[in-house]
Amino acid sequence: MRKIKVGLISFAHLHAVSYLQALIGHPEVELVGIADENRERVEPYIRQYQIPYTSDYRKLLAGDADVVIISSENSRHAEMTIEAARHKKHVLCEKPLGIAKEEMRRMIDACKQNGVQLMTSFPNRYIPMIVAAKQAIDQGEIGRVIAVKATNKGEMIGGWFNDRSLSGGGALIDHTVHVMDLLNWILRSRAVEVYAESGSLFHDADIDDAGMVHVKYENGVIVALDASWSRTRAFPYKRDLTMEIVGTDGVISIDYFAQINEVYSEAAGHAEWSYWGDNKDQLLINDLIRCIRENRPVAITGEDGYNSTMIALAAYESIRLKRPVSLIDYKMEKDG
C-alpha cells in the first residue's frame, strides 16, 4: 500500500509540533519534508527524525507531497494555501483559516478550482466527549437547545500572536474560532448576530487579551463565550475548553481538560496538571490521512473554517461599532 506523502510548512504555530508527533511512526505516512524560513525553530526535529529541510516552502510544494500542513502565522495562510492548491496539494490549514473575508474566499476557491481538499484544523471536533454530546443532542436527549455557556481560555504566548499584522487580532480571534466551529457543527444552525467586548486586562500588551462574545443563532440559541488569555504562567494547565449546553429537558456539561492528574513538585514551585486524556491532534491526523487515501471529503472543510472565523471578525466589528453586528448578509453556507 502506497504511503500518503506529507509535508509540513512552517512551525510558527505550536500545533506544528503536535502534528509532527502524530505523523511520526504513522504506518500510512511518509514525511517528505519540512519547510520553514526559520531553520532554528525546526532544527531539533529535522535532526532527530532525519526529515529533508528547505527554507523555501515553494520548493517543498514542487515535490511529490500529496498533502501539506500549514502552521504559519495567520496572515500567511492564504498565500501558502493558494500556492499549495496551484501545485495540486491537499491542505490542512491551521486555524483561523484567514484574517479577512476576501482572502478566505480565495483560499476556498483555489482549492476547489484545482481539485484538492482544504481542511481547517479544528481537532476539538474529534474529542470523544464532544462527539458524544453532539449525538445526545441529535437524539433529543436534552430536548431543544436554548443556550450555551462556554469558555476557551489560555495563556498569552506572545511573539507574533501579539502582532495584529501577523495574527489578525489577539485572544478573541485566537480562541473564538474553536468554540464557534463546535457550535456551528453541533447546533446545525447559522449564527446571525454577534455582540462582543474586549480589553487588555491581564498583560502589559497592546492587544486584546480578554474577550466576551455573545452569538445568536437562527434557531434561537444564545451563546456566551469567554475567549481570553487569562491563564497566568503559575496556573496548573495553560488552557481550557468548557461548554454548558442548556436544553429544555436537560443540561450537558463538558470539560475537556478535566482528564488530568494533579502533580505537586518542589521543582515547579506550584501545582501542575498532567494531561492523560484523548489525543485530539492524533485523531484529526488519522482522519485526514483516511480521507486522502479513500478520496472522500474531509470532515472539517474550508467553509467550516470560514464560518467560524467570520464570527470572530464580526466580534471585532461589534467592538469597533459598540453594537451588535448582523452576519446574515455575508455568511457563507457550508457545501452540501
Which CATH number goes with the domain that contains 205? 3.30.360.10
Cell numbers linked to 93: 490549514
Q: Are residues 91 and 105 in the same domain?
A: yes
Residue 283 lies in a domain: no
Q: Are residues 153 and 89 in the same domain?
A: no
Residue 229 lies in a domain: yes
Confidence of residue 187 (pLDDT cuts 50, 70, 90): very high
Task: State the pLDDT at residue 333.
Answer: 39
Q: Are residues 49 and 135 in the same domain?
A: no
Distance CA 304, CA 301 (A): 5
8 or 277, which is more confident: 8
Q: Are 168 and 96 in contact (CB under 8 A)?
A: yes
Task: State the pLDDT at residue 334.
Answer: 38
The pLDDT > 70 percentage for the chain reads 95
CB burial of residue 69 (10 Å; 0-12, 13-18, 19+): buried
Residue 336 lies in a domain: no
The mean pLDDT of the chain is: 93
CA distance readout (Å), 19 to 37, 69, 104, 117, 148: 19, 8, 23, 18, 30
Whether the pLDDT of residue 50 is over 70: the answer is: yes
Confidence of residue 236 (pLDDT cuts 50, 70, 90): low
Residue 298 lies in a domain: no
Residue 300 lies in a domain: no
Side chain identity at residue 31, one-letter code: L
Find the mean pLDDT for residues 139-146.
97
Q: Are residues 185 and 226 in the same domain?
A: yes
Q: Give the end of a domain, one of 121, 140, 171.
A: 121
Query: Residue 150's closest CA among 239, 235, 247, 254?
Result: 254
Residue 335 lies in a domain: no
Q: Are residues 163 and 262 in the same domain?
A: yes
Residue 31 lies in a domain: yes
Q: Are 30 and 5 in contact (CB under 8 A)?
A: yes
Q: Give the end of a domain, one of 92, 121, 150.
A: 121
> Domain range holding 71?
4-121
Q: Give the end of a domain, one of 68, 92, 121.
A: 121
Residue 202 lies in a domain: yes
Beta strands in the chain (DSSP E): 4-9, 29-35, 53-54, 67-70, 90-93, 118-120, 145-153, 191-199, 210-217, 222-228, 242-247, 251-255, 260-264, 271-275, 325-326
Q: Are residues 249 and 206 in the same domain?
A: yes
Q: Are residues 210 and 103 in the same domain?
A: no
Whether the pLDDT of residue 145 is over 70: the answer is: yes
Q: Are residues 94 and 232 in the same domain?
A: no
Cell numbers linked to 276: 492523560
Confidence of residue 235 (pLDDT cuts 50, 70, 90): confident
One DSSP character per residue, 142-165 reads T-SEEEEEEEEEB----GGGG-HH
Q: What is the pLDDT of residues 15-35, one digit of tens each?
A: 999 999 999 989 999 999 999
Query: Residue 246's closest CA among 127, 143, 170?
Result: 143
Which CATH number goes with the domain that contains 36? 3.40.50.720
Confidence of residue 5 (pLDDT cuts 50, 70, 90): very high
Report the number of secondary-structure helices (H) and strands (E) in the chain: 10, 15
Domain count, the chain: 2
Q: Are residues 100 and 167 in the same domain?
A: no
Q: Are residues 138 and 254 in the same domain?
A: yes
Q: Are residues 84 and 148 in the same domain?
A: no
Side chain identity at residue 216, one-letter code: K
Side chain identity at residue 29, one-letter code: V
Cell numbers linked to 235: 496556573
Confidence of residue 329 (pLDDT cuts 50, 70, 90): low
Distance CA 196, CA 216 (A): 12
Q: Are residues 139 and 259 in the same domain?
A: yes
